[in-house]
Chains A and B, each alone.
Chain A
Amino acid sequence: MPVINLRVNGNPVSGEVEARTLLVQFLRDNLRLTGTHVGCDTSQCGACVVLMDGKSVKSCTMLAMMADDCDVTTIEGLANGSELHRMQQAFMDNHGLQCGFCTPGMIMSALDIVERNGNDLDEATIRRELTGNICRCTGYHNIVKAVKAGAKAMGD
């Protein structure tokens, strides 16, 4: 089987994959990084969003081999030990989740939103930018508040 070499959360990793192995399968099944979720498996819901070379991608709609030689960041790569990333902390502070299934994708997408739009985000921008992430619990209100607060905290 083909072998891929990439960096995940800053660490070099390699693994044998089938050509058809999805990036999300490689992360969850080979690396046991199960923070990246599979919600719909049809690129609608965004629970599987990770950063690849700094940009948000849906890891259920990407072959693992396409990530060969790339830098991948998953939700597990954000916290510094027990100290949460500021975006994670903002989701906690603002109760930006109920069941939590969509949260990893929401947070990874939020980082991409901040990267492209800066730290001072209005509600309309956040809602428009979250179109690719579906939450079935919260009605989004606290997620939007969390992204706004997290973005601001990241700039402080």
Chain B
Amino acid sequence: MYDFSYHNPDSVAGAVSAMNKAEDGKFVAGGQTMLPTMKHRLASPSDIIVLGGIAELSGITVDGDSISIGAMTTHAEVAASSDVQAMIPALAALAANIGDPAVRNCGTIGGSVANNDPAADYPAAVIALGATVKTSKREISADDFFTGMFETALEEDELITAISFPKADAAAYMKFENPASRYAIVGVFVAKTGDDVRVGITGATPCAHRGMRLEGVLNSNFSGDALESVEIPVDKMNADIHASAEYRAHLVKVMTRRAVAACS
């Protein structure tokens, strides 16, 4: 990888200031995607601003009926958190199955959500649980955050500080994973709170999104059988060497059915 200037600020304000001074800066959280991307020279920032020294970005706090997870909290910490396990066990289970143990010891929730890889797990949970993304500037609702492939509502000098997840009555995440990378070929997160069902889908399309057709059916009949009538538009699906568009469309319904069954 090309060389760069390294910044290791100890505060959010310091990180933003470093970014604003940089010619072509990048924030680096756990680095598990950013460093491979730089090695491949798909990115060659002039400056990297490492967020690992900012204590205020780590940690998990329960606030009434929601749980706030600091951006620099690792997947391993989310998976092992007794608070997350108690309030949203599906979220802890999701974190426990990202990548592999060494990746989970470094990779962070903020880095994953900010990167918005089309096959990442967390975006499905953020969408389905109706989470709020807290940043250095504002709060962004899940429905407004993910805007396209690797694109989010974040501005260049804006970083995620925490993500707040409201508790659901029942929730489950089902992933059909690539056995080598463990990224989602299709992953579906279903969350039910009262009579309101939300479905977050990752891996299927260029950007994680809500499954509005699936929600429409599940809101009136929360059962796997109700999904039979739903048409998943094949032309919107990703297609690659791992799975065709038709296969992904099929998987969306299968994973949703399994998630609904796990919620019941």
Q: Footprint of B on A, CB under 8 Å?
A: 2, 18-20, 22, 41-44, 46, 49, 55-58, 61-63, 65-66, 68, 109, 112-113, 116, 129, 131-133
Contact = CB atoms under 8 A, between A and B. Distances in A.
Interface string B2-28: 111110100000000000000000000
Nearest to A18: B3
Contact of A61 (B2, B8, B36, B80): B36
Contacts of B103: 43, 58, 61, 132
Interface of B: 1-6, 8, 31-32, 35-36, 38-39, 48, 50, 52, 76, 80, 99-103, 105-106, 180-182
A28 B64 CA distance: 49
Given A61-B31, A132-B101, A41 B4 contact: no
Nearest to B6: A19
A2 B6 CA distance: 9
Contacts of B39: 41-42
B52 A66 contact: yes
B101 A129 contact: yes
A61 B6 contact: no
Q: Looking at A44, A61, A63, A131, which has the most chain B CB atoms within 10 Å of its CB?
A: A61
Given A20-B4, A129-B101, 10 more contacts: A19-B4, A19-B48, A43-B35, A58-B102, A66-B31, A112-B101, A116-B80, A116-B101, A131-B100, A132-B99
Given A56-B105, A132-B100, A20 B182 contact: no
A10 B39 CA distance: 30
A42 B2 CA distance: 16
Given A61-B31, A132-B101, A132-B103, A55 B180 contact: no
Contacts of A132: 99-103
30 contacts: A18-B3, A19-B3, A19-B4, A19-B6, A20-B1, A20-B3, A20-B4, A20-B38, A41-B39, A43-B35, A44-B180, A44-B181, A46-B102, A55-B76, A56-B102, A57-B106, A58-B103, A62-B35, A63-B6, A63-B50, A65-B8, A66-B31, A66-B50, A109-B102, A112-B105, A116-B101, A131-B182, A132-B100, A132-B101, A132-B103
Contacts of B2: 20
A57 B105 contact: yes
